[in-house]
Chains A and B, each alone.
Chain A
Amino acid sequence: MEQLKTIGRELAMGSQGGFGQSKEFLDLVKSIGEARSKAEEDRIVLSEIDILKRKLLEPDIPKRKMKEYIIRLVYIEMLGHDASFGYIHAVKMTHDDNLLLKRTGYLAVTLFLNEDHDLIILIVNTIQKDLRSDNYLVVCAALNAICRLINEETIPAVLPQVVDLLNHQKEAVRKKAIMALHRFHRKSPSSVSHLISNFRKRLCDNDPGVMGATLCPLFDLITEDVSSYKDLVSSFVSILKQVTERRLPKSYDYHQMPAPFIQIKLLKIMALLGCGDKSASEIMYMVLGDLFRKCDSSTNIGNAILYECIRCISCIIPSPKLLEAAADAISKFLKSDSHNLKYMGIDGLGRLIKISPDIAEQHQLAVIDCLEDPDDTLKRKTFELLYKMTKSSNVEVIVDRMTDYMISINDNHYKTEIASRCVELAEQFAPSNQWFIQIMNKVFEHAGDLVNIKVAHNLMRLIAEGFGEDDDDADSKLRLSAVESYLQIMSEPKLPSLFLQVISWVLGEYGTADGKYSASYISGKLCDVADAYSSDETVKGYAVSALMKIYAFEIAFGRKVDVLPECQSLIEELLASHSTDLQQRAYELQALLALDARAVESILPLDASCEDIEVDKDLSFLNGYIQQAIESGAQPYISERERSCMLETTDYHSRDHHEVPSHALRFEAYERPKPSSLPTQASTELVPVPEPSYYSEAHQPISTSSVSERESSEIKLRLDGVKQKWGRPSYQSSTSASSTPPQAANGTSSHPDVGVGSSSLKPRSSYESKKPEIDPEKQRLAASLFGGSSSSRSDRKSSSGGHKPAKGTASKPPKENPIPVQPPPDLLDFGEPTATSVTATDPFKELEGLMDSSSQDGGSTDVMGVLYSDAAPVTTTTSVDSLLSELSDSSKGNPDTYQSQTSKGPNSKEALEKDALVRQMGVNPTSQNPTLFKDLLG
């Protein structure tokens, strides 16, 4: 161990001058570290760039020097400056024979270049050469680079070699080859689709590192296609079982947990495989139960595994016992003081609530605490949970909370999300129309520019159609309440455009419908809108159309229309507008004012926004005219889309020509004639085949636009309301949810619930006795969120409490119970020091039977066996491990495990040395960053 430590120290100090770099570089780092401002830093970097540009041009740069220049380039790039002038030198360095230089070159290019960079082509050849190298470190370096640099086009150039490396004798190479193949699969699944069996084969690699790495691609593959991997369920389960039984080498332990990261990956895979599959799920029950019992919930990593178990259980078909164990784990999370664990608990709750909806109730206060936590992450997670558990009984409280939160935040991305959730919940569960409109007003007022325009159309349609009943009275009440609320809101100074559009439309249609408001009052308001938002043409358009409707209704009723002076001036202004749309609307309005009642009524019938308007999309009435024109020698019309298609085809042709040379850049020998078929194939696919459907589709845009040109723009507006196809089912469901006496439900749901909920809270007070006082406000909130039938729930609660001891006893039998008759196959028997070296080729027989049999050379496995049974390194690492785990324990904030201070004794001396050395070189910790020397794990 001491040896390792000193090696580490020497490495850190490097060979020359302390950190292995020249004085110049140290000066650079130092001056940047001491820069007082960003501008100063930029100046320093720019002059460094100049220096490097000059130096890189010098002839015969010593290699060691060159390596440093490259590292300086990386540094410059890391500080956010462009170092592209030096990329080519990094590329050159990858060609070097010296491994160190080569690695530096590869490191630099992986950091500099994206996979589509032109210079990649120069590296592919080197990579190919390096993959063939005898030195496995060179191969590793090349594989690292492959994982970053190879794109779809260059995959074929390296693929065969990477596949060969899957059987390399060094486990590090096999592991990286697997990761490279995984990446190929992500980039272009078709390129490796024939190689998938290799992943299965590597699952039973002798090296746990390779096995662990193989889980990554397998996870992706299983996500795509579960059914073809069902045969692996028992293999995964038995691997997990062996991992939990500590059969992997101790070096995979992390904080006393055996290979936790591998466990988590396995659990993720099992969740996929067990989803909706009873028999697969049943195989997993035992190991999952074991995990719940074994996992140490005092460490983060133990909790990470527990959480993964909960996720797994929420995906598979769980047994009641497992559900209970998951619920217990969740309640531990929620009761913890750590925000991280609370977060995991809330997330787990959200997952489990789908399976057992009542589980949230016993945690209601914890949930509310999280909801009111100042930590936004936790709050949002809790909102997600609430969203999942919304019912018609608690929708009001939840949506109110959501809208309040939505108003309070500035983050547009999340605001949009939560706004759309509010709308969705309101549409689904609205207890009353009034409430619905209120919520929509709030959402529009505060997030109007963020919500989807469809939401606005939906709302307009809802107000026009009512909630679907034939009760006209209720509909007109709804409209009146909408009009009233809008008139009130309109006085707010700044409203989102979309909201104003809705307001204008509704006022136009229904502003005067009840006779409560006079035409001049409404039209005055509409003029105000058009004035106040004079830069927004859409709003103005809506306002003018609304004015037109108001006047039309007046005329139709035979009342005399007196146009307000401000309306008159608005119309005059718009008559001269630059926007043809506004201008047309203004002219139409002017023309309409001159018509008599009957004509107006047929143009704009009262309350007809829901009537279907038949549109002749094919413009068949023009056929005769067209026929005539063609006969007299006119060209037939080619729609825009067809024209653009024709352009595109020529485009593709030209692109093909470009592509041919790029395909011609082969990395393989030229003999193979196969790929030549590729370009032609591609081109046939790309040329669009003219289909009859094109014509009908292509006609659509022109026809509608010409219709709207011909008919009044009013029709265009109505089309908006009528033609929408979306959202219909949600409306119907909302009506069914709320149609049964909405008012009554609304009235009762809030008050009795409080009573019921709070009474149901009482028996629980013992469990919450930790907290001395619970805010009655919170209790009320809890009751309205979770309230419902109370008695059954409290019963269930107590019964679940009673279950606990029973569970303890019940969980024992499986231990002795030898369910699988044959002893578990020795899939991953790495632990036994002596036995493995003899039977090294056998331990995977069981698994191999499942895969396509492959030639696995015994030589390599033997090497592995020796490697893992080697006693000496194992002992050193265990002691090192234990030391580090002590260190890390302290870093995890357990104040009582500070004994690590003592173990740091000798090290602190090192730190001092390091400190002194750096100071000697003239690098001082500046006031800007006094922690430069602080041990990260201290």
Chain B
Amino acid sequence: MIRFILLQNRQGKTRLAKYYVPLEESEKHKVEYEVHRLVVNRDAKFTNFVEFRTHKVIYRRYAGLFFSVCVDITDNELAYLECIHLFVEILDHFFSNVCELDFVFNFHKVYLILDEFILAGELQETSKRAIIERMSELEKLE
């Protein structure tokens, strides 16, 4: 199960944070700080997996953004690594050439997309098309 998803830039600014387990506010800040520190200085050649307390963080870097997913120790690392990539592909599709700026100004939409992709800590839908269709249905209302 996914514990939380974080999007942070190289400076450690949180661009998106979604928690699937209840955490105290102070604990969240600690988690965000620690995950950033864990992830930001790792060599590009290293594994994309880091132990984090009793869980593990799977992260992937895109331009200046780090996507980090915290999952159970028994989960399949590669699958979550690709799950991040699928998410980015969906975002790329939605924003056409997604860049960090889209997260800055449209973070609420990113949250909505995430809610179509992952729900209650589990992959809910893995069809890119289904998610994009759902989003465009919503956007039509605006």
Binary CB contact string for chain A from 225 to 260 against chain B (1 if under 8 A, 0 otherwise): 000000000000000000000000101101100011
Interface residues on B, range: 35 or more
Binary CB contact string for chain B from 86 to 128 against chain A (1 if under 8 A, 0 otherwise): 1011011111111111101111110110010001101111111
B89 near A212: Cβ-Cβ < 8 Å: no
Which of B10, B17, B93, B122 has a CB less than 8 Å from the CB of A884?
B93
A212 near B125: Cβ-Cβ < 8 Å: yes
Which residues of A (304-353) have their CB < 8 Å from a CB of B?
A: 304, 307-308, 311, 339-340, 342-344
Bound CA–CA A915/B10 (angstroms): 20
B100 near A375: Cβ-Cβ < 8 Å: no
Smallest beta-carbon distance A586→chain B, Å? 44
CB neighbours of B135 from chain A (8 A): 11
CB neighbours of A180 from chain B (8 A): 120
A306 and chain B: residue at smallest CB distance: B78
Bound CA–CA A268/B74 (angstroms): 11
Bound CA–CA A179/B98 (angstroms): 29
B93 near A880: Cβ-Cβ < 8 Å: yes
Which of A259, A340, A376 has a CB less than 8 Å from the CB of B126?
A259
A179 near B122: Cβ-Cβ < 8 Å: yes
Binary CB contact string for chain A from 22 to 50 against chain B (1 if under 8 A, 0 otherwise): 00001001000100000000000000000
Binary CB contact string for chain A from 878 to 891 against chain B (1 if under 8 A, 0 otherwise): 00110010011001
Bound CA–CA A408/B90 (angstroms): 42
User: Considering residues B14, B42, B109, which has the most beta carbons from chain A within 10 angstroms of its beta carbon?
Assistant: B109
Smallest beta-carbon distance B34→chain A, Å? 11
Known: A260-B82, A340-B77, A937-B62. A929 touches B100 (CB 8 A): yes
CB of A609 within 8 A of chain B? Answer: no
Smallest beta-carbon distance A156→chain B, Å? 18
Smallest beta-carbon distance A647→chain B, Å? 29
Which of A249, A340, A933 has a CB less than 8 Å from the CB of B99?
A933
Binary CB contact string for chain B from 9 to 20 against chain A (1 if under 8 A, 0 otherwise): 111001111100
Bound CA–CA A377/B137 (angstroms): 43
Interface residues on A, range: 35 or more
Known: A261-B83, A304-B76, A880-B93. A934 touches B99 (CB 8 A): yes
CB of B49 within 8 A of chain A? Answer: yes
CB of A907 within 8 A of chain B? Answer: yes
CB of A877 within 8 A of chain B? Answer: yes
B96 near A251: Cβ-Cβ < 8 Å: no
CB neighbours of B47 from chain A (8 A): 339-340, 342-343, 375, 377-378
B89 near A887: Cβ-Cβ < 8 Å: yes
Binary CB contact string for chain A from 101 to 124 against chain B (1 if under 8 A, 0 otherwise): 001100100110011100000000
User: Considering residues B49, B63, B100, B101, which has the most beta carbons from chain A within 10 angstroms of its beta carbon?
Assistant: B101
CB neighbours of B83 from chain A (8 A): 261
Smallest beta-carbon distance B40→chain A, Å? 13
A339 near B96: Cβ-Cβ < 8 Å: no
Bound CA–CA A304/B16 (angstroms): 26
Which of B9, B16, B115 has a CB less than 8 Å from the CB of A78?
B16
CB of A805 within 8 A of chain B? Answer: no
A104 near B108: Cβ-Cβ < 8 Å: yes
CB neighbours of B123 from chain A (8 A): 212, 216, 261, 265
A377 near B100: Cβ-Cβ < 8 Å: no
CB neighbours of A923 from chain B (8 A): 101
CB neighbours of B142 from chain A (8 A): 14-15, 20, 100
CB of A262 within 8 A of chain B? Answer: yes
Bound CA–CA A910/B101 (angstroms): 14
CB neighbours of B128 from chain A (8 A): 251, 254, 877, 881, 884
Bound CA–CA A75/B14 (angstroms): 10
B108 near A179: Cβ-Cβ < 8 Å: no
A182 near B99: Cβ-Cβ < 8 Å: no
B79 near A261: Cβ-Cβ < 8 Å: yes
Smallest beta-carbon distance A83→chain B, Å? 10
CB neighbours of B42 from chain A (8 A): 375
- 29 A-B residue contacts at CB 8 Å? A11-B109, A26-B105, A74-B108, A78-B107, A116-B22, A140-B134, A182-B122, A209-B127, A251-B129, A254-B128, A260-B79, A261-B83, A264-B76, A265-B123, A311-B76, A340-B49, A340-B77, A375-B42, A375-B47, A377-B49, A377-B51, A884-B128, A907-B97, A908-B97, A914-B101, A929-B9, A931-B10, A937-B62, A938-B63
| Known contacts A179-B120, A261-B123, A936-B88; 17 further A-B pairs (Cβ under 8 A) | A21-B105, A79-B14, A137-B138, A172-B130, A175-B124, A175-B125, A212-B123, A249-B127, A260-B79, A308-B79, A343-B77, A344-B77, A891-B85, A914-B97, A914-B101, A931-B100, A937-B88
Q: What residues make up the interface of B, taking CB atoms closer than 8 Å to A?
A: 9-11, 14-18, 22, 25, 29, 32, 42-43, 45-51, 53, 62-65, 76-79, 81-83, 85-86, 88-89, 91-102, 104-109, 111-112, 115, 119-120, 122-130, 132, 134-139, 141-142
Question: What 3 A-B pairs have minimum CB-CB distances, sorted nearest first?
Answer: A931-B64, A304-B78, A251-B129
